[in-house]
Amino acid sequence: MQVTINGKEEKLFGNPPEVGEQLPKFKLESAESEKVKTADIVGRITLISTVPDIDTPVCSVETRRFNQEADKYPDARFLTISNNTIEQQKDWCAAQGVENLQLLSDESLSFGYAMKLYMPNFGALARTIFIVDQTGKIVYRQIVPEITDEPDYQDALSALEKLAKRIDD
């Protein structure tokens, strides 16, 4: 699969999982230097957004936006994943006042390779949004075609709302 960066084609490590598939096994690191595995995510509706570099303008805007939206979905967990170090992520969260979502580091590239979202030539994750249900099944996938563009927030949040309503009914 390919995406573009400023119009230049960039290959992903492979083909990211499709809607209906289970999350693959991976390990991430939290701000508290704790390992977060796939099994730790399963059990709750989760919106996972991946960004290439939290210290860039578009990634920063995207993460702040999801931080603001998280309050509206008390039954869902919001995660943002980047290849930044946990120190870079902690500094960014402190500077931005981000408290409603969890920023996780994929410095080890476990997530990027497992989800096929790593761009080897660029050295970072693609910009994506995945929503998984409580069983770890992917129910929504958005791979932003141009890395420098923001995702379609409304489309992702509408999918999250539909999933939350199904569970409430």
Catalytic sites, residue numbers: 59
Among 146, 117, 100, residue whose Cα is nearest residue 23: 117
Question: 144: buried, middle or exposed (CB in 10 Å: 19+, 13-18, 0-12)?
Answer: buried
Nearest to 14 by CA among 143, 164, 152, 147: 143
**What stretch of H or E contains 80?**
strand 76-82
Nearest CA-CA partner of 48 in 119, 115, 99: 115
**DSSP strand E in 35-75: where?**
35-37, 45-50
